[in-house]
Structure 1
Amino acid sequence: MDALDAISKWLAKQHVVTYCVGREDALWCANAFYIYDRERVAFYLLSDTQSRHGQMAGKLASVAGTVNGQTKTVALIRGVQFAGELRLVEEPESEALRERYNRRFPVARVMSSPLWEIRLDEIKFTDNTLGFGKKLVWLRAEQA
C-alpha cells in the first residue's frame, strides 16, 4: 500500500477537519464536517461565505490544517497535517458533490451554506500504530 492509499483509507473514516486561512497579517481557523474524495485528493465541506474564514478566503485561498483522531493512548495517535488550496465550488460542479455530502451528513440538507473544496497539495500523516513517530508523506507536485 502506497502512502496516499494509507492516508486516504484513514481520511475516509474521519469526518472533522480543522482548516486555517490567512489574509495580510491575519489568520483564522475553522472546523467542519467533510467528505473526502480519493481521486481528487480533496475535502469537501460546507461553510458560509460571510463567516470570518469565508470572507478571508474569498473564492480562492491558500489553506493549511489538520485531521486527527481522539485517542488518549500515544501508541494509537494518528493524524494528518496538510497544505493546499481552498476554493468555493460553483454550480453545476457542486451539485453531485453536495448530494454526496448530504448522504453522509443528512442534517446538511436543510443548510444553505455553499460547498467548498480543499485541494490537498501536501499531506503528512503521522501514524504511531506503525511505530512511534512514523510519518507518511504525499506531495501533489511529485504525482505530475
Structure 2
Amino acid sequence: MKEKMDKFIKSMHILSLSVVNQNSTYSFSAFYAYNQKTSTFFIASSDDTTHIKALNSNDNVSGTIALQTKIIGKIQGVQFLAKMRIATQDEKKIYFKTFPYALTMNPKIWAIEISWAKFTDNRLTFGQKFIWQKS
C-alpha cells in the first residue's frame, strides 16, 4: 500500500503544510518534489517567510495533499507528520529536476522528512485508510 501512496504523492504537485508559530499555528501551500525512497518532500521557500521563521523554535510540521473532487468514490489524500530542515546538495537536485525553471530564482530548498502518514483512497473501498510509519 506504501507504493500506492507514493504513486498518489508523485501524481500531485501541491501540498499544504502547517507549522507552530508562537503558541499558534500557521499554514501555507507549496509546490513540491518527492523522493519516495526516503519519504521526503522538497519545497522552495525564503528565510523571511513566517513558516520558515517558525522552524527556529519548532521543526515539527504537519501537512496534507488532496485530490480536488466532489465525487466521494474518487477521494484520495494524504495526511502526514514530519520534520523540516534545510535540504542537502543532493536533495536540492531532486527539486530542481522537477522544477528546472526555479534554478533561475536560486531559491533556498527545504526537506520535509515524513515520520507518519495516513493515505485515504476511496477508489478501493469507501473509507479505506492506510497508515505508514517510518521505522
The reply to whether TM is greater than 0.5 is: yes
Q: Does the 8 A contact of 2:45 with 2:110 survive in 1?
A: yes
Select 2:59's aligned residue among 58, 61, 74: 61
Q: 1:99 to 1:60 in 2, by over 3 A?
A: farther
Q: Does the 8 A contact of 2:35 with 2:94 survive in 1?
A: no
Whichever residue aligns with residue 55 of structure 1, its letter is: K
Q: Does the 8 A contact of 1:59 with 1:87 survive in 2?
A: no
Aligned residues: 135
> Over residues 25-51 of structure 1, what are the superposed CA-to-partner deviations in whole Å (9 max), with x where a residue is unaligned?
121111111111111111011011110
Q: Residue 98 of structure 1 corresponds to which residue in structure 2?
A: 92
Residue 24 (structure 1) shift: 3.5
Q: Residue 82 of structure 1 corresponds to which residue in structure 2?
A: 80
- Structure 1: distance between partners of 2:23 and 2:74: 36
- Structure 2: distance between partners of 1:53 and 1:70: 24
Q: TM-score, normalization: structure 2?
A: 0.92
Residue 136 (structure 1) shift: 0.7
Residue 58 (structure 1) shift: 2.6
Q: TM-score, normalization: structure 1?
A: 0.87
Q: 5 Å matches for 1:1-144?
A: 3-58=1-56, 61-89=59-87, 93-94=88-89, 96-140=90-134, 143=135
Q: Greater shift after overlay, 97-106 or 76-85?
A: 97-106
Question: Which one has the bigger helix percentage?
Answer: 1
Q: Does the 8 A contact of 1:11 with 1:36 survive in 2?
A: yes
Q: Secondary structure at the match of 2:123?
A: helix
RMSD (CA atoms): 1.5
Q: Does the 8 A contact of 1:44 with 1:117 survive in 2?
A: yes
Q: Greater shift after overlay, 104-113 or 114-123?
A: 104-113
> Percentage identity across aligned positions?
29
- Structure 1: distance between partners of 2:99 and 2:22: 34
Task: For structure 2, list consecutive stretches of 5 or more residues without a partner in the other structure.
Answer: none
Whichever residue aligns with residue 134 of structure 1, its letter is: Q
Q: Does the 8 A contact of 1:20 with 1:63 survive in 2?
A: yes
Residue 101 (structure 1) shift: 1.8
